[in-house]
Amino acid sequence: MINLMISSIMTFLVSSIFLLAATILSKKSKEDQEKSSPFECGFNPFNSPRTPFSIRFFLITIVFLIFDVEITLILPLIHNFDNSNLLIWQTVLILFIMILIIGLIFEWKTGSLEWVK
């Protein structure tokens, strides 16, 4: 119990020291802020560097992210094929893929996948 408490205190102290050192060493001066500001060919920028992005791009990114997560959920099903009942495994996989297909059809019908309207 004492070893756990000592190691917890040491971990807290070491992380606090690193956090304090990083805070002290990372102070930016006025010169550093000027160097990191955007410029175009040595001139001040003509437009704001913080231009808004297309909401269509954001929607397609979200759809892509959802399909990536779905792939990571399907991969363990393949690994568990040997340890499970074939009927249950097929039912879960078909249901999962049907949900994905229904979602894709919905996105397609609402026009979220069209880049230009």
pLDDT digits (tens, 9 = 90+) for 12-42: 999 999 999 888 887 665 556 666 666 656 6
Q: Is residue 61 part of a domain?
A: yes
**Quick one: pLDDT band at residue 79, thresholds 50, 70, 90?**
confident
CA dihedral 46, 50, 55, 59 (to 10 degrees): 130
Full-prediction pTM beyond 0.75? no
**Is a pLDDT exceeding 80 seen at residue 91?**
yes
Q: Is residue 100 part of a domain?
A: yes
Task: For residue 83, give its domain range.
Answer: 55-110
Q: Is residue 38 part of a domain?
A: no
Q: Is residue 46 part of a domain?
A: no
- Report d(CA 31, CA 2) in Å as an integer: 49
* pLDDT score at 9: 92
Integer angstrom CA distances of residue 81 from 12, 19, 35, 90, 92: 44, 47, 56, 9, 11
| Tally of structural domains, the chain | 1
User: Mean pLDDT, to the nearest integer, of 93-98?
Assistant: 88
Q: Is residue 49 part of a domain?
A: no
Q: Is residue 88 part of a domain?
A: yes
